[in-house]
Structure 1
Amino acid sequence: MGWFGLAELLILALLTDGLFRRLGLPGLIGMLLVGIALGQSGLGLLDPKLLALSGELRQMALVVILLRVGLGLNLRTLQQVGRRVLLLAWIPAAVEGFTITLVAQPLLGLGSLEAALLGSVIAAVSPAVVVPLMLRLIEEKRGTAKAIPQLVMAAASLDDIAVIVVNGMLLGLLVQQASSPGLQLPWSQLAGLPLGLLLGAAAGAGLGLMLLRWIERFGPQVNRQVLVILALALLLLRLQDSIQGLVPFTGLVAALALGVLLLELRPQLAQPIATKLASIWVFAELVLFTLVGVQVDLNVAWHSGLAGLAVLAIGLVTRCAAVLACLAGSGFSAGERLFVTVAYIPKATVQAAIGAMPLLAMQAAGLPSGPGEIILAVAVLSILTTAPLGAWLSSLVADRVLRPDDPQLEAR
């Protein structure tokens, strides 16, 4: 019927977001449910014109996430927490993604590449759930003497980038195999991944320097600065798609590097830009989660329910074990190690941003869409289960084990 456009969708999402927050649950759960109710598995009331734009809107939301991460990724903080942040950024996600790749094949009936895509979708931590809690703990000076909130926030940010990059690479392999069915996995592309990361970082840093010179010479308003940054980041992603298969280049890392460079060289300029992006994220988050809910096929979700939960549970167990292994010798207490472990549970933002991409890629390549629907269904299932569980556990454990570093704050 197409009765509901963007305005109606935003109003319903805002109301549901507020209701769920009052109930002590992440508002993004309510946004997902609004999308499911209005989408193909529900009442089917969403305007097809809005659905046609869903891919571009989700890409914009992903760019906003990357820029916010870059503008909050202080290199001095990374130096403070040392090599531990690099271990937490790579090992838990790699272990969980590899485990899901193995178990999703027999449990969900996926092929090896499809299972790897699922693993890359699920393995990321949610900045929408993790970052606000870590910022609150930093403000309250809980665990900051050992830089625990900073460690979690930095590691989670790098974790997201690593997962998104691997997911983009696997999607490229899927498209290549669709065009050449007999083609084997091009391991040369895997070997070129470090070069792609370096080229992406160099391109982002170069654009950042040019942007700084433009800002300092012409002094545009902050709103214009933000619009230019968003446009440049979107162009970097388009460049990645345009030269795919020719030159290893990672536009996602370029967008991240753009934000990092602005923060490091001109923090006084980066702060108002980050504030504006936070305001844009309010809109982008509403659109992102509702449109992901719209594309969920409840029949597929229902049929993959128990098997999907088993895949998620096995992946989380191995992730938690990997986190604890990374914290060995850290000097953290048992309670502090438990906090870092449960803080790595929530999944939401990245799963919403990239969960539907395999389905869209399969449809565009003329492949059977069944595996893509399973990937999206399990991605949504991961949000519905781990986001509220992880948010509740993280807050509970933080209040129990992370005492204020200042005794006067504790006395209050």
Structure 2
Amino acid sequence: MPLLGLAELVILGLLADGLFRRLGLPGLIGMLLVGVALGSSGLGLLDPRLLALSGDLRQMALIVILLRVGFSLPLATLRQVGGRVLLLALIPASCEGVMITVVAQPLLGLSLLEAALLGSVLAAVSPAVVVPLMLRLTEERRGTAKGIPAMVMAAASLDDIAVIVVNGLLLGLLVQRQGDVAGQLVGLPLGLLLGAAAGAALGWGLIRWFERFRPNTNRQVLIVLALALLLLRLQDHISGMVPFTGLVAAIALGVVILELREEIAHPIAAKLGSIWVFAELVLFTLVGAQLNLAVAWSTGLAGLAVLALGLIARSAGTLACLARSPLTPGERLFVVAAYLPKATVQAAIGALPLMVMRAAGGPTAAGDVILAVAVLSIVTTAPLGAWLSAYLADRVLEPAAA
């Protein structure tokens, strides 16, 4: 039987997406299962050349979702909830990551570094689940009087960036490329600031470019995507000399264009939403294709225990961040629920430890376990978090006055 390429993968992924949405479940679960069925642990029908491109495709998907966040976050709203955003971006993820690092060692048989890597994979919130709901609530003006959708969306995005940066540091330790972790942690705030400044400057320059040459919206979107990907490449090239965070730069680019020229930003945001349909499909099908089903089965109960304990720690950290906020108990519970789902980041970086271990030529058992638990987190928390947060949003978030 001939191997399947991108066209067949897209068709099957779309069919699975539609089926699962009809069942009231997130479509990304169907895409993930298509990848599992077609991957090496399933029927083995995917073309290896497609799997070889999975790293670049995952990076593109991550950029698209972060750009969507940037083009949907007004600075006025960020200022309204700014201080609490930083708390929500750092404390819940830290609580979850530390808890997983502690419990994954005895439960999954991982070393301290491998358990910390698993914690850095699982500690991120899913923009694929959170962002669409927050955008819908913003359109319906639910919770907007207190800035709740913008607060959750911004905090989730910064949470993802922090987790991805920590994951990169730990991956470097895994292959002994980066020994000065303390120095990198000290340079992390500077990297975030430089990334924000570079993105803001690039956004301002793009406004001038668009107004002078007036490219149509399709070309504007392609330019924005290309520059965001170049920012990530710049991060890779200069990280040894100057701390720089390309993901922050990508978000800042969108925020500045939205703040200065809404008439340019809104059409770009709409086009990015359309591109995300394709990027999401490729992301979840390919990560499913890399899953080792035997490892996933063997780590099932232990993996669920690790996930549950991590989510309990995350929820406690979230409630602690909201302790002195003006939010009602119901609104706080909504934020906790919105912070539960895992999907996009786990799909984007869950396979990286396995890929790094394979490239280093060492044992890959721990990488298989990390990927298996990452996929397990998507399958369990994405539908639960999506349903629970949507259910609570319609009941505890009050519509703002027109």
Q: TM-score range by the shorter chain?
A: over 0.9
RMSD of aligned alpha carbons: 1.8
Find the aligned partners of 2:247 and 2:395 in 1 and give their Cα distance.
37
Identify which range, 200-209 or 70-79, moves more after superposition.
200-209
Report the alpha carbon displacement of residue 231 of structure 1 after superposing the two structures with TM: 1.3
Report the alpha carbon displacement of residue 280 of structure 1 after superposing the two structures with TM: 0.6
What does residue 386 of structure 1 align with? 381
| Residue ranges of structure 2 left out of the alignment (5+ in a row) | none
Amino acid at match of 1:204: G
Contact 1:204 1:257 in 2 (8 A): yes
Report the alpha carbon displacement of residue 184 of structure 1 after superposing the two structures with TM: 5.1
User: Structure 2 length as normaliser, TM-score?
Assistant: 0.95
Find the aligned partners of 2:42 and 2:111 in 1 and give their Cα distance.
29
Cα displacement string for residues 168-189 of structure 1 (whole angstroms, at most 9, x for unaligned residues): 23223333x1x5xxx8553112
Cα displacement string for residues 22-60 of structure 1 (whole angstroms, at most 9, x for unaligned residues): 110000000000000000110000111211211111111
Find the aligned partners of 1:72 and 1:164 in 2 and give their Cα distance.
21
- Select 2:248's aligned residue among 245, 253, 264: 253
Report the alpha carbon displacement of residue 398 of structure 1 after superposing the two structures with TM: 2.2
What does residue 317 of structure 1 align with? 312
Contact 2:16 2:31 in 1 (8 A): yes
Find the aligned partners of 1:405 and 1:258 in 2 and give their Cα distance.
29
- Select 1:203's aligned residue among 194, 198, 209: 198
What does residue 262 of structure 1 align with? 257
Identify which range, 197-206 or 20-29, moves more after superposition.
197-206
Identify which range, 250-259 or 50-59, moves more after superposition.
250-259
Change (3 A) 1:405 1:74: closer
What does residue 347 of structure 1 align with? 342
Contact 1:236 1:254 in 2 (8 A): yes
| Residue ranges of structure 1 left out of the alignment (5+ in a row) | none
Find the aligned partners of 1:25 and 1:342 in 2 and give their Cα distance.
16
What does residue 158 of structure 1 align with? 158
Q: What percent of counterpart residues are identical?
A: 75
Change (3 A) 1:405 1:24: same
What does residue 323 of structure 2 align with? 328
Change (3 A) 1:82 1:260: closer
Change (3 A) 1:277 1:250: same
What does residue 3 of structure 2 align with? 3
Identify which range, 149-158 or 386-395, moves more after superposition.
149-158
Contact 1:352 1:379 in 2 (8 A): yes
Cα displacement string for residues 63-89 of structure 1 (whole angstroms, at most 9, x for unaligned residues): 112211211222211112242222112
**Runs of 4+ more than 4 Å apart:** none
- Select 2:217's aligned residue among 208, 216, 222: 222
Find the aligned partners of 2:101 and 2:369 in 1 and give their Cα distance.
14
SS of the residue 1:83 aligns to? helix
Q: When the two structures are aligned, how many residues end up with a matched partner?
A: 402
Find the aligned partners of 2:190 and 2:80 in 1 and give their Cα distance.
27
Change (3 A) 1:185 1:2: farther
Find the aligned partners of 1:334 and 1:40 in 2 and give their Cα distance.
47
Report the alpha carbon displacement of residue 325 of structure 1 after superposing the two structures with TM: 0.9
Change (3 A) 1:287 1:145: same
What does residue 299 of structure 2 align with? 304
